[in-house]
Amino acid sequence: MKRILFAIAFLMTFTPFISLHAQWVKTYGGNKGDNVLLIQQTKDGGYIVAGDSNSSGTQYYDLLLLKLDSDGAIEWQNYYRSSYYKNLLSIEQTNDEGYLVGCNGRPFSQEYEIWIIKLKSTGAIEGQFCLGRAIDNIVYCFQQTSGRGFVLGGAYSSLEGEKNDIWISKLSSTADIIWQRLYSGSDDDSVRFIQQTSDGAYIAGGNTLSFGAQGNDIWVLKLSSAGDIEWQRTYGGVDDDSISCIQQASDGGYIIGGDTRSFGAGEDDVWIIKLNSSGEIEWQRTYGGSNEDFIYNIRQTNDGGYIVGGNTQSFGAGAKDFWILKLNPSGNIEWQKTFGTLSMRRQIPFSRQAMAAMSLPATSLPLERARVISLF
């Protein structure tokens, strides 16, 4: 029997003020396999937990959502079943305090589709719709936008075995397609994070094999409200580098969280890049040791600094541990801690060489090198 285990939810979702002492630890699950994939703090101070479960009585895994209060008690839990559920992509609380869930699955037909579910605050289904019938048509990220519409980003390939292109689609509040675009190079590209910016436009962060220095690089595109490219840049070195998240900062610039094999101490290291509003690098740092270290998310805090969450095999109790770093506005470490099975809290000594500064130029792409294709 495999059960879901949660140690205080700030390990995956961040708020500006954080206590690093565990407040509660609970398990949730049935008599078969249960997996937590995503967790977010909700507007009421509780948490929405999304994963998949084989405990619902069927032979297949179903989508499972749990709504917890601030003390971890279950307010409601629901299974969501389709003819074929493959995997959860993302979940977001909407402006009306409901939820938007994205999956890969086949809820209405035998064709492989992207399944988007709009839920009420009680977990009841308010509406659902599907997008795409391509072989490799996958959503990695989406967000509710102003005007109660939605923007989605992922990868698109029209035929099996063909390269993937970045795919971004803007939907109305009733799921009508307003526009959708492909941003294409000569090799595989995908978008992993998209956010509406303060000017009503969009910042998209993805991974590219088409452009950049070598191997896999980070590709950031600043788009207009209609999806046209305002600027685009790649960031990376001679080895593989990838993006996990990008957020607009309070000064109008952007903060990127990713992983790098091109720079740092060795293996995969956490790579944080601060950009100005034009995509030029203001500062960048790597954080890690001799083993693999990864980032899941980064958020700006009220003091202008940043809170970073990931995992580490270089520090902590052993094997893979949670890793939380608090950075000042310049990316310098104010504190960092690991959380693992052998020690619920262990501070990493600053004598370790866990941070390196670099001076790497961004690569600016001419607009004509990345094709923009309107599908509708």
Domain positions in the chain: 77-374
| pLDDT at position 343 | 41
Residues 5/27, Cβ–Cβ less than 8 Å: yes
In one letter, which amino acid is 305? G
| pLDDT at position 2 | 47
Residues 155/189, Cβ–Cβ less than 8 Å: yes
The pTM of this model reads: 0.77
pLDDT along the chain (376 residues), means of 10: 42 43 68 73 90 69 86 87 68 86 66 75 85 62 81 79 86 83 90 93 95 91 96 94 94 96 89 97 94 90 93 84 92 89 44 38 43 40
Residues 256/242, Cβ–Cβ less than 8 Å: no
The distance between the two most distant Cα atoms of the chain, rounded to a whole number of Å, is 57
The rounded distance, in Å, linking the Cα atoms of 222 and 231 is: 5
The rounded distance, in Å, linking the Cα atoms of 84 and 174 is: 24
**Of 103, 70, 65, 56, residue with least CA distance to 84:** 103
Residues 322/340, Cβ–Cβ less than 8 Å: yes
| pLDDT at position 176 | 80
Residues 95/148, Cβ–Cβ less than 8 Å: yes
Q: Which two tokens stand for residue 67?
A: 């709504």
Find where tokens 């270089």 sit: 314
| pLDDT at position 31 | 65
Q: Which two tokens stand for residue 366?
A: 């001419």
CATH of region 77-374, choose from 2.120.10.10, 3.90.1300.10, 1.10.10.60, 3.40.50.620: 2.120.10.10
Q: Which two tokens stand for residue 127?
A: 């509406």
The rounded distance, in Å, linking the Cα atoms of 296 and 312 is: 11
| pLDDT at position 12 | 42
How large is the C-alpha radius of gyration of the chain? 20
The rounded distance, in Å, linking the Cα atoms of 141 and 90 is: 6
**Of 329, 229, 225, 314, residue with least CA distance to 283:** 329
Count CB atoms within 10 A of the CB of residue 110: 8
| pLDDT at position 82 | 65
In one letter, which amino acid is 112? Y
The rounded distance, in Å, linking the Cα atoms of 241 and 195 is: 21
133-373-226-131 Cα dihedral, nearest 10 degrees: 0
The rounded distance, in Å, linking the Cα atoms of 2 and 18 is: 29
Q: Per-residue b/e over 196-217, b at no fewer than 16 CB within 10 Å? A: beeeeebbbbbbbbbbbeeebb
**Of 102, 152, 101, 108, residue with least CA distance to 133:** 108
**Of 284, 186, 181, residue with least CA distance to 241:** 284
**Of 313, 355, 301, residue with least CA distance to 10:** 301
Q: Could you tell me if residue 133 is left (phi over 0), alpha (psi between -120 and 50 degrees) or otherwise beta?
A: alpha
The rounded distance, in Å, linking the Cα atoms of 141 and 134 is: 17
The rounded distance, in Å, linking the Cα atoms of 183 and 202 is: 14
**Of 31, 22, 23, 25, residue with least CA distance to 6:** 25
